[in-house]
Amino acid sequence: MATHASYAMSEEYVPQHQGGKYSATNAKKRLVRKIQQDSLKQLSLATQAVLVRSPTEPYHSYHMTITSEYYKQKWIACHRYSDFYRLRKTVLEVLSVHARMGCPVCQTVHAQVKKFDFPPRDIFRRGELDKQVAMRLPMLEDFVVALCQYLSTEGLLVHCRNILTVQNKMKDFMQFPLAHEEQHIRAIRSLTYVR
């Protein structure tokens, strides 16, 4: 099983003299950013709509089966349409605040998320419920995949720490096994480089 330590072996992460461009502290920070970024890559996603019969009114829940080659794990995250809608709204708000401060990274990602084709909040008509759910399903899945791709773009965290906040919101939504990632980050922070 490959570990994240393989990143540290490349020339880019080899610490140089104290205070150099890639000091031990700097190398650790770069490695942590790489883990946070790469964890959103190597995902496969399959989504299905499930009709939930609640005591008040039936509704559809979208079950995302997520497989991560990075974590070597598989899990299911279940959300209603309103959860996807709130995620998009929250991501756009967080990016918008920083974009207005002049951050070019947040401006770019905000524009990408905003222009992505997101299913509208339609009121379901009785006879067309299945048709509307079938139309909405791939659009929601495509939205999640696109958001993961936008947020895992190489070097985003180097230029804007606000992207980490958005990545964490995305990981919470997808119910990532964050304990696994945190364990790797703790191990990296405790590393001692020997000259």
pLDDT tens-place string over residues 65-95: 998 887 788 899 999 999 999 999 999 999 9
> Percent of the chain, pLDDT > 70?
76
- Which phi and psi angles does 162 have, rounded to 5°? -65, -25
What tokens were used for 115? Answer: 């222009």
Rounded mean pLDDT, 27-39: 72
Question: Which pLDDT does position 73 carry in this prediction?
Answer: 84
Measuring CA to CA, which residue among 82, 83, 110, 84 is closest to residue 166?
110
pLDDT on residue 17: 43
Q: Tell me the residue length of the chain.
A: 195
Whether the per-residue pLDDT at 142 is higher than 60: the answer is yes
Task: Specify the pLDDT at position 15.
Answer: 36
Per-residue confidence band for 123, with pLDDT thresholds at 50, 70 and 90:
low
Cβ burial, residue 82 (10 Å; 0-12/13-18/19+): exposed
- Cα dihedral 87→88→93→96 (10° resolution): 140
